[in-house]
Amino acid sequence: MKRIVSGVQPTGSIHLGNYLGAIKNWIALQNTYDTLFFIVDLHAITLPYDTRELFKATRDTAALYLACGVDTSKASVFVQSHVRAHVELMWLLSSATPIGWLNRMIQFKEKSRKAGDENVGVALLTYPVLMASDILLYQSDFVPVGEDQKQHLELTRELAERVNNLYGGRKWKKLGGRGGAIFKVPEPLIPPAGARVMSLTDGLSKMSKSAPSDQSRINLLDPKDVIANKIKRCKTDSFSGLIPNPPEKSLEFDNPERPECNNLLSVYQLVSGRTKEDVTKECQGLNWGSFKPLLTDALIEHLHPIQVRYEEIISDSAYLDSVLEEGASKAAEIADATLKNVYQAMGFLQR
């Protein structure tokens, strides 16, 4: 069975973007792949953070994976820092990573500029090496990646090939290893179209946990009235409220001049489980005033069962702990086997 690894960072409240762009897709993937879904806590400290929030967000994220339908009889669910091999492999990979590769990462450039260059920790620069370690440890065949992670996955692939060339094959065999490639080179798995959810306050920026305004996102745990309020106040466009809705001013998908419109319609399509054609037909002739209540109801209806299930899971600490313990032990088994090979191939004395 082909293997997939994926995760979300506990950097805040899990929102509709994380759900529609990642977690919801995992539910289908876990039926056809060997899947490992982890809470990416080690990555969550690359920028200044609040320790209590990290603690809470880690548990909440784990509970939400399960509440959204991740099934522990099919997938391993674990916390990244519970599997020590991630950090250990990262060090080994760092020695084979040219610093120029890291300096050219767009996300590093953007995030360090935002944080003010002097205050940036080394971890922000070396983040892609930890990501490579997350993936290569499990000999993953595929990694679901959004647009902004494509460059990091490319670095993972290059690094896997580099380490295979430097230390694999006959050189490894001479050290008593099996020879051949040390790492499988993973392929990107591009999520279904339309799964990039944009901010509610700016249709050109993606919905994000770290955006300062909570109004910009729908969190999976937002109560009904909060959802209703956010949709009521979300940014629409200058077509808004125009009467009497001539057909060319209808709500529409894919008009680059109307990013908010495309985003809200796409969200409606995804949470109502309808086709694009159905939504296009339904929304012909609607104005924002009549569309927003439809979207609000669809969101509330979709998120309600997730919220109920989340409450059950989060209040049962023993259950959540046992899921994470079991997940970490399954993951560690695979990860430790890879790590042992890497140490051997790199010439370390076996323990």
List binders of ligand AQP among 122-161 (CB under 6 A).
Answer: 146
Count of positions on this chain that bind ligand AQP (CB under 6 A): 17
Nearer residue to ligand AQP within complex by CB, 46 or 341 = 46
Q: Which one of 14-22, 80-88, 90-98, 277-285 is the stretch in contact with ligand AQP (CB under 6 A)?
A: 14-22
Closest separation between CB of residue 207 and ligand AQP, Å? 4
Point out the residue whose Cβ comes nearest to ligand AQP. Answer: 21
Type of residue numbered 217: R
Contact predicate 86/39, CB 8 Å: no
Sheet holding 187-189, edge to edge: 75-79, 34-39, 3-8, 142-144, 187-189
Rounded-to-integer distance, Cα 46 and Cα 219, Å: 22
Instruction: Identify which of 310, 247, 341 has the alpha carbon closest to the alpha carbon of residue 23.
Output: 310
8 φ, ψ (degrees, to nearest 5):
-125, 140
Longest Cα pair distance anywhere in the chain, in angstroms?
79
| Site for ligand AQP contains 230 (CB under 6 A) | no
Distances (CA, A) of 259 to 88, 199, 275, 295: 43, 10, 19, 16
Rounded-to-integer distance, Cα 52 and Cα 44, Å: 13
List binders of ligand AQP among 29-88 (CB under 6 A).
Answer: 40
User: Exactly one of 4, 5, 13, 21 binds ligand AQP (CB under 6 A); which one?
Assistant: 21
| Site for ligand AQP contains 119 (CB under 6 A) | no
Rounded-to-integer distance, Cα 348 and Cα 350, Å: 6
Count of C-beta atoms within a 10 Å radius of residue 18? 24
User: Exactly one of 13, 18, 219, 272 binds ligand AQP (CB under 6 A); which one?
Assistant: 18
Rounded-to-integer distance, Cα 167 and Cα 67, Å: 42
| Site for ligand AQP contains 197 (CB under 6 A) | yes
Closest separation between CB of residue 348 and ligand AQP, Å? 31
Rounded-to-integer distance, Cα 18 and Cα 324, Å: 20
Catalytic residues: 111, 206, 209
SS3 223: coil
Nearer residue to ligand AQP within complex by CB, 9 or 272 = 9
User: Exactly one of 4, 5, 22, 129 binds ligand AQP (CB under 6 A); which one?
Assistant: 22
Q: Which one of 16-24, 157-165, 230-238, 321-329 is the stretch in contact with ligand AQP (CB under 6 A)?
A: 16-24
User: Exactly one of 206, 230, 258, 302 binds ligand AQP (CB under 6 A); which one?
Assistant: 206
Closest separation between CB of residue 39 and ligand AQP, Å? 10
Contact predicate 150/188, CB 8 Å: yes
Residues 6+ apart with CB under 8 A from 113: none
Residues 6+ apart with CB under 8 A from 96: 159, 162, 163, 166
List binders of ligand AQP among 243-262 (CB under 6 A).
Answer: none
Q: Which one of 204-212, 219-227, 245-253, 283-291 is the stretch in contact with ligand AQP (CB under 6 A)?
A: 204-212
| Site for ligand AQP contains 327 (CB under 6 A) | no
User: Exactly one of 4, 5, 17, 314 binds ligand AQP (CB under 6 A); which one?
Assistant: 17
Closest separation between CB of residue 9 and ligand AQP, Å? 4
User: Exactly one of 210, 213, 255, 322 binds ligand AQP (CB under 6 A); which one?
Assistant: 210
Nearer residue to ligand AQP within complex by CB, 157 or 206 = 206
Contact positions toward ligand AQP, by CB under 6 A? 8-9, 11, 17-18, 21-22, 40, 146, 195-197, 206-210
